[in-house]
Amino acid sequence: MSDLVVIVYPTEARAEEMRQKLFGLQKEYLIQISDAAIAVMHEGGKVKLNQLLNTTALGAASGGFWGLLIGAIFLMPIFGAAIGAASGALGGALSDYGVNDAFMKELSASLQPGNAALFVLIQKMTGDKVLEAIKGTGGVVLKTSLDHSQEQALRDALAASPAAQRQELAPGSTEPTPNPIPGV
């Protein structure tokens, strides 16, 4: 069973930095990730999703290949490739892998403009080593499917370093910036 973790960052760049860090941990076989997407709240309330896999392009490419192959059998390769690419793109646009897009947009609607939420679907991980690697990286845990003790360990690891807390201070202020999630 996979676990979902959603962490909010003040910028899309910080969320992407954490996603790349998790991919580095995956290369070390400390974590196995099914999906890692970033949702960014823009001015005007529009949520943009930054996903790993573009299913429309992937569907068009595979559909074009199979259409070309089948079209070549019937001596109509160009027509077959065009039909295959169109049907593959449609199939890819209608498919959704990993974290549900509607769920990500709904959950991200509560963010402040400019904030980004990192959605990570974790298949398995070596908890203590992953928590040590992400210690002090900042971010606010918005939602998880972890049990209470694991969730608290994640919150503690993200907030562990005083250096990370200093980075979140507003310039010239001794107070931390407001929580990017209203009501939390």
Q: What pLDDT digit, counting tens, does each position of 136-164 carry?
A: 888 888 888 888 888 898 888 888 755 54
- In the block, tokens 């910028």 appear at 11
pTM greater than 0.75 (yes/no): no
d(CA 80, CA 143): 46
Q: What pLDDT digit, counting tens, does each position of 34-78 carry?
A: 888 899 988 888 888 887 655 455 555 666 666 666 766 676 667
82 Cβ neighbours under 8 A, 6+ residues apart = 64, 67
Asked whether the beta carbons of 104 and 38 are under 8 A apart, the reply is no
Window from 28-37, 114-123, 166-175 with minimum mean pLDDT? 166-175
149 Cβ neighbours under 8 A, 6+ residues apart = none
In this structure, how many other beta carbons lie within 10 angstroms of the beta carbon of residue 43? Answer: 7
Domain ranges of the chain: 3-53+114-167, 55-94
